[in-house]
Amino acid sequence: MQQTKKAAVIGLGSMGWGAALSLLKAGFAVRGCDVRSEVLTRFAENGGTPCTTPAAAAKEADVILIYVVNSKQVEDVLFGQDGALETAQAPSVFMLCTTMAPSATTAIAERLEASGMLVIDAPVSGGHVRALSGEITVMASGAREAFDRASAVLDAISAKVFRLGESAGAGSQVKMINQLLAGVHIAATAEAMTLAAKAGIDLKTLYDVICVSAGSSWMFENRGEHIVSGDYTPRSAVNIFVKDLGIVTSEAGKAGAITPLAAAALNLFVEASEAGLGLEDDAAVAKILAAKSGASLPGAKD
């Protein structure tokens, strides 16, 4: 089994930042790429090597983790000008950690493999706190050789790796289902909290009760706290779920599946985005419901 100590992380957002720091803590030499200069400065302060282009980040890296927002950005950072494929040496392993439609993941993986690269379809879940502690869940599919070469990286960033098949696309399919549940649970959390506020229930008390009751979920425990504290600093933004639930409903339509709850949740996220909340924490969908019902949430401006 070949292990590696050179890695690149392209996209130092909430999850990519956590992965990069986890790799540094595990003793990797890590090159990180992001469009924000302040993030690169902070990355250098934490011991990483900042890069302004994907090509610079991928140079000499044995494993390259892609943490950008959507499939268009993945294509740009891989195949565009100054893209990672310009400098990556075969058979580098590309871990595609971005949530994408399975069909998009498959097409991108085929282009990388045609260039002699190894690919792991590796969408992740667990939130920014688990990313920082190296305890995310990876829903992964790819060739055995790719997993062998990336095993040390996977050990550094994750608590659990589910190997879902030998070909790219399977990981993205499972992540799509996860995002269906996550988006619906966030919308349900917002609805429950808004109803409670309208009814005059103390939200902190409600939160404490539900967290130890049958109605709880991981998303309620995580996002419900954001609503209770009135803190909508984006850990995962509203616009992320506009994208992810859009993938769910689109892929469901192609398959002939019926997803009414996902569609309802998507409509709420779209409405929040169109109201100017797209870059706020995804729990901010509660603001839309509160405004419509005349409820007052913590942190609301008079």
> pLDDT tens digits for 166-207?
999 999 999 999 999 999 999 999 999 999 999 999 999 999
Q: How many residues does the chain have?
A: 302
Cα–Cα distance between 66 and 142 in angstroms, integer? 15
Over the stretch 125-153, which tens digit does the pLDDT of each residue have? Answer: 998 899 999 999 999 999 999 999 999 99
State the pLDDT at residue 84: 98
| H helix runs in 26-165, sequence order | 37-45, 54-58, 71-79, 102-114, 127-132, 144-157
Tokens representing residue 18 in the block: 């956590």
Cα–Cα distance between 65 and 16 in angstroms, integer? 8
Q: Which one-letter DSSP state was computed for residue 183?
A: H
- List domains and CATH numbers for the chain: 6-168 (3.40.50.720), 173-293 (1.10.1040.10)
Tokens representing residue 154 in the block: 């996977």
Inform me whether the pLDDT recorded for 4 exceeds 60: no
Tokens representing residue 189 in the block: 């959390």
Closest C-alpha to 241, from 208, 263, 220: 263
Which value, to the nearest 10 degrees, does the dihedral of the CA atoms of residues 80, 78, 46, 63 take? Answer: -150
Tokens representing residue 69 in the block: 């927002």
Candidates 6, 175, 254, 287; catalytic one:
175
Query: Is 292 among the catalytic positions?
Result: no
Closest C-alpha to 175, from 247, 107, 123: 123
Mean pLDDT of the chain: 96
